[in-house]
Amino acid sequence: MSGSTQEAYARAVRKIIEHFGKDPRQITEEELQEYFLFRRNVTKWSPSTLKICYCGLKFFFINVLRRDWHLFNILKAQLEKRLPCVLSREEVIRILQQVKTFHNYTCLTTIYSCGLRLQEYLFQRRAVASYPY
């Protein structure tokens, strides 16, 4: 287990101790379930943060305290579903109209119309520049 994973797991245990104000050996399965619901619904932790917390507490309660609770078999953190940000045609035109130099306008128009990522464009540009004509 990497050092950053160990730190994240220790932070998860520390957070639940702070939340309940008692020894983690005294925390019940119902309290643990309430804790996850509190973090999801009240403090609005992201799914990725909840997953790290879940993994840390699962490791702690199963491997350290030897508690094989049913909660760990049914509880799964939902993956965050994000839609990509897509600009409308009008928004793209408005942005490109703000570019004043012809060189930059041509560069950005090429990147956008070809669907390139910036790094892909820069790689192609370097490859063309280093090609011996």
**Residue 15 predicted with pLDDT over 90:** yes
Does residue 27 fall inside a structural domain?
yes
Instruction: Say what the pLDDT of residue 63 is.
Output: 87
- Domain boundary at 74, 104, 119, which? 74
- Burial class from Cβ neighbours inside 10 Å (0-12, 13-18, 19+) for residue 56 reads buried
Average pLDDT of span 23-44? 90
- Give pLDDT tens digits for 67-107: 888 787 776 655 566 777 888 889 999 999 999 999 889 98
**Residue 89, helix vs strand vs coil:** helix
**Residue 42 predicted with pLDDT over 90:** yes
> How long, in residues, is the chain?
133
Does residue 80 fall inside a structural domain?
no
pTM for the full predicted model: 0.55
Expressed as residue numbers, the domain containing 67 is 3-74
- Burial class from Cβ neighbours inside 10 Å (0-12, 13-18, 19+) for residue 53 reads buried
Higher pLDDT pick, 35 / 78: 35
50 and 108 both lie in a single domain: no
Q: Cα angle vertex 92, ends 91, 96, to 5°?
A: 120
* Residue whose pair of structure tokens reads 């973090």 in the numeric block: 39
